[in-house]
Structure 1
Amino acid sequence: MVLSARFIILSFVFLFTIPASNAQDFQGQAYYFSKSTMELGSWGARMSEAQKKEVYARLQNRLEKTYILNFNKEASVFKEEEKLDAMSGATDSWGKNFARGEQYKNVKGNELVQSQEFYGKLFLVKDELQNIKWEMGSESKQIGQYMCFKATASVPTNELTWFDFSWSRLRQNNENSGEPNGEEAKEPAVEMTQIEAWYTPQIPVAHGPAEYWGLPGLILEVSAGNTVMLCSKIVMNPDVKLKIEAPDKGKEITKTEYQITVADKMQEMRDNRGRRRSR
């Protein structure tokens, strides 16, 4: 299935309270709505409209998500609000294996700590923050009560979706690991994702949702590939003090090591299915 880059933009109301004068007590909470779109390609051309609607309904939990970003001056915790499956009333167990886990980012220490569960095993991914070379634009727009400014960047897709898995990526890795058969092996083309972000200097922190960070203001909207994330509500200095700490449970591993672990497990599962079918 090929994903497209068309989005539906919704209207939002923003809540804001004046930050405390003591910077040490400064905290904020931002709510995001994420929407991805999908095209079914040639496979979808053979489906009836009723079948297409059923597919979209079953995949709704993967295409539409809500998140919370808790932050202070130096660090943030970004996590998904878990929803029940729209069709069965159960959680999406298959999709959970490849979804982004609870993510801690420390912009002062250039530190990423992310909790990832894969087929019942818990991993604690520790690495540096995603390197994003932003190009600052001159465009501005009002989002709710905040004046926002545009920034763009281009990042390797694989680095933005390191926690995810695709069979096409596995096939490419297998092909690249083979012998060149007398010919010089060609370096595979790197797929890039174009990013468009809107940040507000009115909230002067370098935080944002997901992998995005490093701008002179909180990122309220970001479009990347087939997905857009929009901030729906902001609460500054909530009455209840927020817990902004890194997760600490699971096997410690880097992003690259995690990708290799997942790919090896999926290859093993595919090989086992093939052996069962050949019996």
Structure 2
Amino acid sequence: MKSKMLTVLFMFFTMYSGFSQDFQGKATYESKTQVNMDFGNRQIPEDRKKEIMERMKKANEKTYELVFNAKESLYEEDEKLEQPGGNSGRGRGFRAMGSAGGDLYKNIEDGRYLIKNELFGKIFLIEDDLEKLDWKLESDTKQIGKYTAYKAVAVKTVKRPNMQALFRRRNTDGKDGEGTKEKKVEEFIEKEVEIVAWYTPEIPINQGPADYWGLPGLILAVSDDVTTIVCSKITLNPKEKIEIKAPKKGKKVTQAEYDEISREKMKEMRENFRGGRGGGRGGARF
């Protein structure tokens, strides 16, 4: 296994040295996120629950494009045409803390990232240091498209919105559905999850989709406990030169500041649902 990893690293540095500094590319990724909805004690018909779950599933199946060079990348959602009577979904409602819900710019050389994110109609520009995962290179390989991909794993601490907290509704007597005093429910759940990535040294840059990076080759697929992202198309050195622009618009905040704002808005949404307003005109305000 050790000799195989040394071979992979040798391939990376050999191919990297052969790539010109103006090397560019773009990759298309398909992202799917599982949704585990807890409706708490809300009296919702089963067919309505099924409809909600189906809509949530479709809303969490997205297509992204990553444009990259040896130093920078920009990860953007491919916006789909809005269906009649529906919402396109991008930039609306709540986004999980730390998520790449908006345009995500990564500068590997500087070790920084920028995310333009919309939260309840307000644009934020999040700027912070790139998280450096402790990747463990493994010997497993598989074919993704025409590329040979190698496996790598890492452990990452994530914060997820607690859907139980959002949909839990208190009775007018201040008690939950079982007639007991309501227990405190955290808006977010923090836990450690295993990240599994598949990268190819045949494209010797340490970029990847979402906020993933740092492997000896472009990351073609990556998954955690709820989300799977897989590359479906790659174009290297396209005829039309790619211009990678970092997002600039929005209120500048750090990731920690944005997380705190998200936490407060999640709490406000929960109170709106409890009050029966459903996040409408009485929804979150800045």
| 2:130 equivalent to 1:129 | yes
Match of 1:143 in 2: 144
CA distance in 2, matches of 1:109, 1:168: 39
The answer to whether the 8 A contact 1:153-1:194 is kept is yes
Distance 1:268 1:259 in 2: 14
How far residue 190 of structure 1 moved from its aligned partner, in angstroms, is 5.0
Any idea what SS the aligned residue of 1:54 has? helix
**In structure 2, what is the Cα distance between the partners aligned to 1:263 and 1:249?**
22
- 2:103 matched residue in structure 1: 102
Conservation of the 8 A alpha-carbon contact between 2:75 and 2:104:
yes
What secondary structure is seen at the aligned counterpart in 2 of 1:108?
A: coil
Does 1:35 pair with 2:32?
Answer: yes
2:207 corresponds to 1:210 = no
The question of whether the paired residues in 2 share the 8 Å contact of 1:77 and 1:103 is answered with: yes
State whether structure 2 residue 89 is matched by structure 1 residue 92. yes
- 3-state DSSP of counterpart to 2:21: helix
Query: Cα 1:262–1:29, aligned 2, differ >3 Å: closer, same or farther?
Result: same
> Which residue of 67, 78, 87 maps to 1:81?
78
Q: Structure 1's 249 and 41: CA in aligned 2 closer, same or farther, altered over 3 A?
A: closer
Alignment of 1:3-22 (within 5 A): none
Three-state SS of the structure 1 residue aligned to 2:263 is helix
Q: CA deviation at 1:36?
A: 2.1
* Inter-CA distance 116–94: structure 2 relative to 1 (3 Å threshold): closer
Q: 1 CA distance for matches of 2:137 and 2:124?
A: 35
Shift in Å at residue 142 of structure 1? 1.5
What percent of counterpart residues are identical?
41
Q: Note if contact 1:140-1:150 (Cα within 8 Å) is conserved in structure 2.
A: yes
**Aligned CA-pair RMSD:** 3.2
Structure 2 residue aligned with 1:120? 121
Tell me how many residue pairs correspond in the alignment.
235
Other-structure match for 1:13: none
Taking structure 1 as the reference length, what is the TM-score of the superposition? 0.73
Structure 1 contact 62–95 (Cα < 8 Å) conserved: no
How far apart in 1 are the matches of 2:162 and 2:38? 17
The CA deviation string for residues 210-254 of structure 1, in whole angstroms up to 9 with x for no partner, is 111000000001111111101000000112211212101111110
The CA deviation at 1:42 is: 8.2
Contact 2:91 2:117 in 1 (8 A): no
Q: Are 1:200 and 2:200 an aligned pair?
A: yes
Following TM superposition, by how much is the alpha carbon of 1:84 offset from its aligned partner in structure 2, in angstroms?
Answer: 4.5
Structure 1: where are the runs of 5+ without partners? Answer: 1-18, 171-188
Matching residue's letter, 2:236: M
Distance 1:55 1:275 in 2: 20
Structure 1 residues 33 and 269: alpha-carbon distance in aligned structure 2, compared to 1, 3 A threshold: closer
Task: Using the TM superposition, give the Cα deviation of residue 129 of structure 1 relative to its aligned residue in structure 2, in angstroms.
Answer: 0.6
Structure 2 segments unaligned to the other structure (5+ residues): 1-15, 167-188, 278-286
Instruction: Output the CA distance in 1 between the equivalents of 2:199 and 2:79.
Output: 26
Give CA-to-partner distance per residue, 1:84-142, whole Å, 9 cap, x none: 46684322268554161100001111011110111221111000012211011011111
Q: Distance in 2 between matches of 1:92 and 1:137?
A: 38
**Distance verdict in 2 for CA 1:142–1:266, change over 3 Å:** closer
What does residue 228 of structure 2 align with?
228
CA–CA distance in structure 2, aligned partners of residues 103 and 241 of structure 1: 20
* Alpha-carbon separation, structure 2, partners of 1:235 and 1:106: 20
Determine the C-alpha separation between the residues in 2 that align with 1:42 and 1:247. Answer: 37
Residue deviations 1:162-185 (CA, integer Å, cap 9, x gap): xxx446689xxxxxxxxxxxxxxx
The offset of 1:29, in angstroms, is 0.3
CA contact (8 A) 2:37 2:53 kept: no
Tell me, yes or no, if structure 1 residue 60 matches structure 2 residue 57: yes
Matched-pair contact (CA < 8 Å) for 1:30–1:233? yes
Q: Secondary structure at the match of 1:65?
A: strand
CA contact (8 A) 2:91 2:118 kept: no
